[in-house]
Amino acid sequence: MSRTLDIFVNFPQDIEHLIKELELILALKFELVSNGIDKWYEFRNSTITLTVGKHDFENDKEIKFEEYPYNLSIRALNISNELDRQKWCDDFASYVFPKLKGTERYRLMLVDDLQVKLQEFAPLVKV
Protein backbone atom coordinates (compact mmCIF):
# COMPACT_ATOMS: atom_id res chain seq x y z
CA MET A 1 0.00 0.00 0.00
CA SER A 2 1.36 3.39 -0.90
CA ARG A 3 1.76 6.28 1.50
CA THR A 4 -0.87 9.00 1.57
CA LEU A 5 -1.10 12.50 2.85
CA ASP A 6 -4.55 13.28 4.14
CA ILE A 7 -6.25 16.59 4.78
CA PHE A 8 -9.21 16.35 7.12
CA VAL A 9 -11.78 19.12 6.78
CA ASN A 10 -14.46 20.26 9.18
CA PHE A 11 -17.12 21.37 6.71
CA PRO A 12 -20.71 21.84 7.97
CA GLN A 13 -22.54 21.14 4.70
CA ASP A 14 -22.96 18.09 2.48
CA ILE A 15 -20.22 16.72 0.26
CA GLU A 16 -21.67 18.19 -2.94
CA HIS A 17 -21.22 21.70 -1.53
CA LEU A 18 -17.70 20.86 -0.43
CA ILE A 19 -16.83 19.59 -3.91
CA LYS A 20 -18.12 22.80 -5.53
CA GLU A 21 -15.99 24.87 -3.17
CA LEU A 22 -12.92 22.69 -3.72
CA GLU A 23 -13.28 22.96 -7.48
CA LEU A 24 -13.32 26.76 -7.22
CA ILE A 25 -10.55 27.05 -4.63
CA LEU A 26 -8.18 24.49 -6.20
CA ALA A 27 -9.08 24.99 -9.88
CA LEU A 28 -9.59 21.23 -10.26
CA LYS A 29 -12.47 19.13 -11.61
CA PHE A 30 -13.71 16.21 -9.51
CA GLU A 31 -15.61 13.18 -10.76
CA LEU A 32 -18.05 11.06 -8.78
CA VAL A 33 -16.70 7.50 -8.43
CA SER A 34 -18.39 4.41 -7.00
CA ASN A 35 -17.32 0.85 -6.31
CA GLY A 36 -20.89 -0.36 -5.77
CA ILE A 37 -20.69 0.06 -1.99
CA ASP A 38 -19.12 3.46 -1.39
CA LYS A 39 -18.99 6.62 -3.45
CA TRP A 40 -16.47 9.43 -3.37
CA TYR A 41 -15.15 12.23 -5.55
CA GLU A 42 -11.81 12.11 -7.26
CA PHE A 43 -9.36 14.28 -9.17
CA ARG A 44 -6.76 12.27 -11.04
CA ASN A 45 -3.98 12.97 -13.48
CA SER A 46 -1.03 10.84 -14.58
CA THR A 47 0.94 11.30 -11.33
CA ILE A 48 -1.44 12.21 -8.51
CA THR A 49 -4.91 11.40 -7.22
CA LEU A 50 -6.96 13.41 -4.76
CA THR A 51 -10.00 11.62 -3.38
CA VAL A 52 -12.67 13.33 -1.29
CA GLY A 53 -15.23 11.60 0.88
CA LYS A 54 -16.54 10.94 4.34
CA HIS A 55 -14.51 8.66 6.60
CA ASP A 56 -15.06 6.44 9.61
CA PHE A 57 -11.68 6.81 11.33
CA GLU A 58 -11.73 6.92 15.11
CA ASN A 59 -9.66 9.32 17.19
CA ASP A 60 -6.09 8.16 17.77
CA LYS A 61 -4.39 9.92 20.69
CA GLU A 62 -3.82 13.53 19.58
CA ILE A 63 -5.21 12.91 16.09
CA LYS A 64 -8.90 13.80 16.43
CA PHE A 65 -10.26 12.32 13.19
CA GLU A 66 -13.84 12.43 14.47
CA GLU A 67 -13.81 16.24 14.53
CA TYR A 68 -13.39 16.35 10.76
CA PRO A 69 -16.14 14.65 8.72
CA TYR A 70 -14.38 14.87 5.34
CA ASN A 71 -11.11 13.35 4.18
CA LEU A 72 -9.05 14.57 1.22
CA SER A 73 -6.53 11.84 0.49
CA ILE A 74 -3.50 12.49 -1.73
CA ARG A 75 -1.62 9.60 -3.33
CA ALA A 76 1.03 9.48 -6.06
CA LEU A 77 0.42 7.31 -9.14
CA ASN A 78 2.62 5.65 -11.75
CA ILE A 79 5.90 6.59 -10.04
CA SER A 80 8.19 3.67 -9.27
CA ASN A 81 10.64 5.41 -6.93
CA GLU A 82 9.41 5.82 -3.32
CA LEU A 83 11.26 9.13 -2.82
CA ASP A 84 9.73 10.55 -5.99
CA ARG A 85 6.25 9.37 -4.91
CA GLN A 86 6.76 11.07 -1.55
CA LYS A 87 7.88 14.29 -3.25
CA TRP A 88 4.82 14.33 -5.53
CA CYS A 89 2.51 13.85 -2.51
CA ASP A 90 4.33 16.49 -0.48
CA ASP A 91 4.28 18.98 -3.35
CA PHE A 92 0.59 18.47 -4.05
CA ALA A 93 -0.31 18.73 -0.36
CA SER A 94 1.78 21.93 -0.27
CA TYR A 95 -0.56 23.29 -2.92
CA VAL A 96 -3.89 22.08 -1.47
CA PHE A 97 -3.46 22.74 2.27
CA PRO A 98 -2.39 26.42 1.98
CA LYS A 99 -5.19 27.09 -0.55
CA LEU A 100 -7.79 25.76 1.89
CA LYS A 101 -6.13 27.46 4.84
CA GLY A 102 -6.09 30.76 2.92
CA THR A 103 -9.88 30.84 2.77
CA GLU A 104 -9.98 31.11 6.59
CA ARG A 105 -13.26 29.13 6.47
CA TYR A 106 -12.50 25.59 7.65
CA ARG A 107 -10.77 23.74 10.45
CA LEU A 108 -8.11 21.56 8.81
CA MET A 109 -5.74 18.81 9.84
CA LEU A 110 -2.90 17.43 7.69
CA VAL A 111 -1.84 13.87 8.51
CA ASP A 112 0.97 11.72 7.09
CA ASP A 113 -0.02 8.11 6.33
CA LEU A 114 -2.92 8.36 8.85
CA GLN A 115 -0.35 8.19 11.66
CA VAL A 116 1.45 11.50 12.13
CA LYS A 117 -0.29 14.86 12.51
CA LEU A 118 1.73 17.42 10.55
CA GLN A 119 -0.41 20.56 10.84
CA GLU A 120 -3.70 21.85 12.14
CA PHE A 121 -5.49 25.05 11.30
CA ALA A 122 -8.48 26.75 12.87
CA PRO A 123 -9.79 30.04 11.47
CA LEU A 124 -10.06 32.94 13.86
CA VAL A 125 -13.58 33.43 15.13
CA LYS A 126 -14.86 36.82 13.99
CA VAL A 127 -16.82 38.67 16.66
Q: Is residue 43 part of a domain?
A: yes
pTM to 2 decimal places = 0.93
Give the sheet arrangement for strand 116-121, strand by strand. Answer: 31-34, 39-44, 48-54, 70-76, 5-10, 107-112, 116-121
| Predicted local confidence at residue 36, as pLDDT | 87
- Is residue 22 within 8 A of residue 29, CB to CB? The reply is no
The one-letter amino acid at 123: P
Mean pLDDT value across residues 35-57: 93
Domain count, the chain: 1
| Predicted local confidence at residue 3, as pLDDT | 82
Mapping DSSP to helix (H, G, I), strand (E, B) and coil, where does residue 19 land?
helix
Q: Is residue 127 part of a domain?
A: no
Q: Is residue 108 part of a domain?
A: yes
Q: Is residue 116 part of a domain?
A: yes
Mean pLDDT value across residues 66-90: 93
DSSP state of 84: H
Q: Is residue 13 part of a domain?
A: yes
CATH code (residue 114):
3.30.310
| Predicted local confidence at residue 124, as pLDDT | 84
| Predicted local confidence at residue 126, as pLDDT | 56
Which residue range is the domain that position 90 belongs to?
Answer: 5-121
